């Protein structure tokens, strides 16, 4: 790191079982487990700068694709519409959606990552930059899904995914979207408040948006082997200030995703050696 060397010049990559632990010290380093199976996460960093309009268009195109593939309304116990759901998307289609999500401060060099051949190529029109942590990086999740599909491993084949979009309370001035958008606070630095919505009367919570078989979900909401995956599209209204009333008003509606990847995928750990002299 002091020499600004590439990550792949200072690491040992190990494929492991999901429950396995490294039992021997290798140099002076740190183990990074980057297996995204199981993985249940709402990405809490969003784009509010140069690519905000591009991401708004991505949200609109995704909804259009859901309609063209066939979608249905998801309703709570009282009958109110909670959102839309489209089933049967492949891992490659999910990975492509994640890779289209653009960040002005996040344009990583794919060679700095495991699965580099499956990782999104950097935008050549601007400098490479990495601003999102490993567990919060949609491009790394996309690369993992492609790697799983191409190489197998783990306990199961990669799942199909259900894609949903959540409705919110803000229906005015929602174009180019044609449904009411979410009211969540977004800071001036692009951090979004809130994660998965919790359970309420007649609703199991957003982790269960596609109503998975209860036998295929554990107590923490993680999906077991055999369950479908879920990609949940959240679009926050440009005028949203959230419950805290502290949200930053923006020029465009803001896209983020929640994703739930079932167990069964191969694990992949990286030991980054921070002492290159050892």
Tell me what pLDDT residue 270 has.
56
* Distant-in-sequence, close-in-space partners of 92: CB < 8 Å, separation ≥ 6: 145, 146, 149
Tell me what pLDDT residue 274 has.
40
Place of tokens 């001035």: 173
Q: Please write the tens of the pLDDT for every residue from 86-120.
A: 999 999 999 999 999 999 999 999 887 777 899 99
Q: Please write the tens of the pLDDT for every residue from 204-215.
A: 899 999 999 999
Model confidence, pTM: 0.86
Structure tokens at 64: 């259009």
* Distant-in-sequence, close-in-space partners of 162: CB < 8 Å, separation ≥ 6: 85, 86, 87, 88, 89, 209, 210, 228, 229, 230, 231
CA distances from 179 to 81, 105, 110, 166, 167 (A): 10, 29, 36, 9, 7
* Distant-in-sequence, close-in-space partners of 19: CB < 8 Å, separation ≥ 6: none
Query: For 5, phi and psi rounded to 5 degrees?
Result: -80, 160
Q: State mean pLDDT over 159-179.
A: 96
- DSSP letters, 50-94, are TTHHHHHHHHHHHHHHHHHH--EEEE-TTS-EEEEEEEEE-HHHH
């Amino acid at each position: 790191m002091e020499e600004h060397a590439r990550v792949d010049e200072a690491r040992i990559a190990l494929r492991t079982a999901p429950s396995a632990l490294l039992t021997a010290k290798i140099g002076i380093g740190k183990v990074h487990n980057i297996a995204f199976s199981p993985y249940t996460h709402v990405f809490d960093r969003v784009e509010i700068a140069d690519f905000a309009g591009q991401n708004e268009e991505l949200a609109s195109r995704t909804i259009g694709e859901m309609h063209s593939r066939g979608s249905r309304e998801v309703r709570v116990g009282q009958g109110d519409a909670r959102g839309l759901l489209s089933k049967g998307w492949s891992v490659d289609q999910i990975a492509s959606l994640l890779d289209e999500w653009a960040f002005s401060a996040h344009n990583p060099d794919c060679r700095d990552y495991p699965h580099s051949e499956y990782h999104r190529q950097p935008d050549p029109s601007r400098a490479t930059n990495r601003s999102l942590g490993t567990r919060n990086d949609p491009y790394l999740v996309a690369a993992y899904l492609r790697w799983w599909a191409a190489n197998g491993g783990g306990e199961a084949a990669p799942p199909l995914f259900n894609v949903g979009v959540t409705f919110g309370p803000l229906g005015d001035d929602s174009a180019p979207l044609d449904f009411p958008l979410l009211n969540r606070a977004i800071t001036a630095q692009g951090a979004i408040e809130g994660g998965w919505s919790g359970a309420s009367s007649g609703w199991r919570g957003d982790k269960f948006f596609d109503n998975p078989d209860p036998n295929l979900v554990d107590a923490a909401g993680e999906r077991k082997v055999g369950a479908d995956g879920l990609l949940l599209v959240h679009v926050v209204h440009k005028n949203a200030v959230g419950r805290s009333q502290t949200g930053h008003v923006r020029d465009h509606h803001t896209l983020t995703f929640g994703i739930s990847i079932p167990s069964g995928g191969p694990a992949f750990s990286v030991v980054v050696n921070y002492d290159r002299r050892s």
